[in-house]
Structure 1
Amino acid sequence: MNAKPDRHLLVVDDDDRIRNLLKEFLTRAGFRVTVAPHGEAAGRLMQTLDFDLLVLDVMMPGEDGFAFTRRVRSQAGEAGRTPILMLTAKGEGGDRIEGLTAGADDYLPKPFEPQELLLRIEAILRRAGPRDTGPQVLTMGRCAFDSGRGELTRDGAPIRLTEAEVELLRTLARAANAPVDRWELARDTADASGRAVDVQVTRLRRKIEDDPKNPRYLQTVRGVGYRLAPD
């Protein structure tokens, strides 16, 4: 698969085990993944974050997947057009029709093969077309980071970055102002525990921050990971 890490998925499922398995599997496939246990939490996330696709379980307590899909489709702007892939333990045609009528883009009955899930996600994203990746250059006080070139400057002078630091900054820049999970940041490092990421963040703070011990731009999000907060 050629998943791109700037593609941000929201997985909504009330089953903790399935939700965590999907997050791990899709993250390893190259996506940014955020999870929510029910529609209410997913709705709050959509108020502050942009997603390229929702992977949505139908059977959830409270607001089910059909109702949540209708709520999403009732929103104005890009949020209301977010592609939706529905998951359900039921294979009846009536559920499929109801999901598609509510506004889902595709429908996958459980149990399913992980590879089929990836293929369906990729197909939906291809149909949706390329996303707006936002500004290529982010400013952080006296520093600027050109994500396309992988270059960091301070007062116009280049600052040397390791390859790992460039990739870390790029990942954080793609999710600017939103927290990124430490596990996701550590995915491509040799140390999956996240300690290597912590070391890289400490080094980057020395290069970017006026006061590295009280960071303004490269922030720690307790219990989650890190966030880049450019000007």
Structure 2
Amino acid sequence: MGARLLLVEDDDALAELLIYNFQREDFEVSRTADGEEALLLAREETPDLVLLDWMIEGGVSGIEVCRRLRKMPDTQNVPIIMLTARGEEEDRIRGLETGADDYVTKPFSPRELVARVSAVLRRVRPALAGERLEYGGIEMDTVAHKVKRDGATLALGPTEFRLLRHFLEHPGRVFSRERLLDSVWGRDSDIEARTVDVHIRRLRKAINVGDAPDIIRTVRSAGYALDSEAVA
């Protein structure tokens, strides 16, 4: 599964075009035309990047959504790209001062926007674009399918490899069992949620070799996270 994108755009035709282009590049896209719903979606499931229309209609403007996202703990560091027909310098500066990371003026090429989004993600989240993932002493080569911890090679089964990769792509983030089922096994899977617990135990056994500390954190009533700060 690619990066998770939250699209806030009230132009249905443009939204459909962008969803098509981003899904073709393996992005997972959630879309809303409403500012309040955008904030709710961002709280429920933190996106990797937000594409935010400045001129969305309704009670909460795009610029206000940007401001609130920057105040929310889970989204304060999530990249935000503003989409707007406004091209004046003062408007661009206002958007950037509010917390936007980039600014794209309509009309634009969907392919160019996909490239711009990918560039931002490479800058702030190299793991989403690279072949090598690293966190807490764990190194994963996603092409060679090799995993090491503190230099020692680990033996992982295919499911544990996918599970660890998902955690490495989102270090520190807590995932529910249901979310892990969707991301690792697929939305159409008939596997029960408790199966996740079995594979988490197998993954722990595989990566916590010797005296290595357990960096998989169990969060009661919430799920699991890869969190080196929880070791102490």
TM over 0.5: yes
1:106 aligns with 2:102: yes
Q: 1:72 aligns with which of 61, 69, 72?
A: 69
CA contact (8 A) 1:11 1:34 kept: yes
CA pair 92-131 structure 1, distance change in 2 beyond 3 A:
same
* Counterpart mapping for 1:1-231 below 5 A: 5-61=1-57, 62-76=59-73, 78-130=74-126, 149=156, 151-152=158-159, 177-178=178-179, 201-202=189-190, 205=191, 209=192
**What SS does the corresponding residue of 1:10 show, helix, strand or coil?**
strand
CA deviation string 1:112-134 (max 9, x = no partner): 01221012111211221346999
Q: Alpha-carbon deviation of 1:90?
A: 2.3
The Cα of 1:152 is off from its aligned counterpart by 4.6
Identical residues among aligned pairs (%) = 38
- Secondary structure of the structure 2 residue equivalent to 1:80: coil
Deviation string, structure 1 residues 76-124 (Cα, Å, up to 9, x no partner): 3x41111100101222222211111111000001110122101211121
Amino acid in the other structure paired with 2:75: A
For residues 157 and 14 of structure 2, what CA distance do their matches in structure 1 show?
Answer: 36
Aligned partners of 1:97, 1:86: CA distance in 2, in Å?
Answer: 11
Q: Is the 8 A contact 2:19 2:29 kept in 1?
A: yes
Extract unaligned runs of 5+ from structure 2: 139-154, 170-174, 197-221, 225-232
Q: Against the structure 1 CA distance between its residues 150 and 95, is the aligned structure 2 distance closer, same or farther, given a 3 Å change threshold?
A: farther
Q: In the aligned structure 1, how far is the partner of 2:195 from the partner of 2:41?
A: 22
Aligned to 1:223: none
Deviation at 1:54, TM superposition (A): 0.2
In structure 1, the gaps of 5 or more residues are 137-147, 154-165, 186-196, 210-214, 219-228
CA contact (8 A) 1:217 1:230 kept: no
Distance 1:32 1:11 in 2: 10
CA distance in 2, matches of 1:42, 1:150: 37
Q: What amino acid sits opposite 1:33 in the alignment?
A: V
TM-score normalised to the size of structure 1? 0.59
Q: Secondary structure at the match of 1:70?
A: helix
Which amino acid is 1:93 matched to?
A: E
AA of the residue aligned to 1:124: V
Partners of 1:152 and 1:119 in 2: CA distance: 31
Contact 2:17 2:110 in 1 (8 A): no
In structure 2, what residue type is equivalent to 1:94? E
Q: Which amino acid aligns with 1:56?
A: L
